Structure 1
Amino acid sequence: MPKTRYKSAASEAIHSAASDLYDAKVISKKTMREYDELCIEKAPDFDAKAIARIRKDVKVSQAVFAHYLNTSPSTVQQWERGDKKPSGMAARLLQIVKKHGLAVIA
């Protein structure tokens, strides 16, 4: 399971305390979701040009890029046209590829 990315060390500590309270059934699932929203870093937001730039930087076709990201070539095309936005998980994968290249997920 991937490591959760918190907004700060303080956010991580607060979320950990809230998680313990949730496990002890002191706070509700709704309240825990509010702590998630407050403390956990959101997935990055990539626009169409940024996605195309990431793919071109790793020097692969849309079809190959789609294969690595476990999606369809048409989805990559839609991202690069700006017709669709990558989901949270796909955005995280794009963030990893941007920072480390394709080798890290190959």
Structure 2
Amino acid sequence: MKPPHQASPPKSRILAAVHETSTDLGRLGFIDKRKQQQIDVLCLQPIPPYDRQRIRALRERLQLSQTVLASVLNASPSSVRKWESGEKQPSGPSLKLLHLLERKGLEAVL
């Protein structure tokens, strides 16, 4: 079972083993949260980019308006419009939430 802080699958089987071991060591108190976060960054796949088509397809699959998606992401409706028009790219927390929505669905963020 994936720990709650894991964003995506490990990059390789070896890194999966390293990540699992470090998670267990963290749970037992041998590794602090900051060190575990550093290991997560090294072991886990980065969040993929979200282009305009991917954002719109996700929004339509979830049957959300741009305004409602903006509210779910704690972003402005104009940001969602700009992402879907290709003027801007989502980043930071918005990018992570888009990835979470795509992987786990709307229930994961509500």
TM-score bin (small chain): 0.5 to 0.7
Q: CA deviation at 1:46?
A: 1.2
Deviations 1:29-54, CA, capped at 9 Å, x for gaps: xxxx7x77653321111110110110
* Aligned mates of 1:46, 1:12 — CA distance in 2: 25
Backbone CA RMSD of aligned residues: 2.9
Q: Secondary structure at the match of 2:46?
A: coil
Equivalent residue letter for 1:3: H
1:102 paired with 2:106, answer: yes
Q: Please, which of 28, 31, 41 is the counterpart of residue 45 of structure 2?
A: 41
- What residue is the counterpart of 1:8 in the other structure? 12
1:51 paired with 2:55, answer: yes
Q: Secondary structure at the match of 1:3?
A: coil
Contact between 1:47 and 1:85, CA under 8 Å: does it hold in 2? yes
Deviations 1:29-85, CA, capped at 9 Å, x for gaps: xxxx7x776533211111101101101111111111000011111111111011111
> Structure 1 unaligned runs (5+)?
17-22, 24-32
Equivalent residue letter for 1:41: Q
> Structure 2 unaligned runs (5+)?
23-30, 32-37
- What residue is the counterpart of 1:60 in the other structure? 64
Contact between 1:79 and 1:86, CA under 8 Å: does it hold in 2? yes
Q: Secondary structure at the match of 2:88?
A: coil
State how many pairs are aligned.
94
With 84-93 and 35-44 compared, the bigger mean Cα shift is at: 35-44
- What residue is the counterpart of 2:26 in the other structure? none
What is the percentage of aligned positions where both structures have the same residue? 38
1:80 paired with 2:84, answer: yes
